[in-house]
A and B are shown apart, each in its own frame.
Chain A
């Protein structure tokens, strides 16, 4: 064997060893991420209910928004399975295109958050979480007094109670600060991704989806008032 072939075998073996080491470390880190810290604190730490102020504010200041509440279980101050539910609404009359759009429907989200802070049992939390959201809703779209520009015939543009369904996922990053007693305030920023949607008929795609926002939106935020129970 030449010196070159010895070196080649050495490099190959080193590379394989390194890969195996990385894989083992990665698996260990993964196990650590999904594990629960071992201490004297019990697993079940109670419930919390919360209300989102941003969605309500959007309804107040714009043509669409949502009232959203959440119910969260606290597992060892580390894992927080959560159900979020609300009613999304949109009523828009466009001054330029003269299109009227209306929808109002409940929506549901289910997911889990993990407290990423080292001090799990402290008063503040930093979350990383996932959500799956679903809504089934109907939209009304119409354009009153639409006239054909060439022939001047009146055209009826009315979409009445068109049924739609929408599924989506969210990646959540949030903070939660204890104020006093059971009261917490929290922020979250969400990256949203449409998973599937269906609209009955060939009329196009919806503009606003309850709970998700406008059809192609990617970012969302919540400001939560949280009460520990």
Chain B
């Protein structure tokens, strides 16, 4: 028995090690890719680093400072080391390091992503299970249809519509930002204010993901419910509700976990678009502003940050999955 438990631990550890070792070349690949694309820029690369409208002397100075007069291989090594040390360049607009600018705004985006994700997961899984427990019925049909509908609505448009109806027209929610400028700055009033600002963007994002999760949960729950042990449990007299909400739930959880992890990229995308609609002060809003300000270093920096985050999220999801389903560790 102890042997078995020890085996489980070792296999998990080996798997984690393997996955981490696989993730490292991926991160390097992202940096290589970014470097390659930058150097495919149809104009002078210095504009991507130092902005437009500078004097010739300024550009020469920057060229030398960033090592652009060196051979390409040296440039890549410089680039790689800089990024691994956390130097993503300087924002043209803020005159601050890109990591600072981005880092300041990550918490706001995280808040938005976590809240919409919580809502979406709970609602989505519940709806999926509900549909799976009554296949072919009106409930099932409505869940399928509604999911398809909500999944097809562009998240920025639903944001605009929600903003228009509930904020601009009905005045129930504030129209922009994360906090009101004229309210409490701490304590309960602050929290309440943030929640009021959070409501609409979180809901518009969540709707899309509820649809997705409901569909996936329904599929995998249906699959799980077809197994023989379900019939046995029924025969043994276990209540139907228990079966659905324990057996099916647990089995449905595995692909749901995968989807959740793999969709971090999509979550980020949604955040970018929604933050723009609601002027939510996160990375998304930063992206939008940087586009209009042509703050290239920030844009490139955000790409790298998001790409690496996705790699890390995939890694964590795989590890979580391996913890839940030991069969995976031997792949």
Our verdict on whether A and B bind, yes or no, reads no
Residues of B within 8 A of A (CB): none
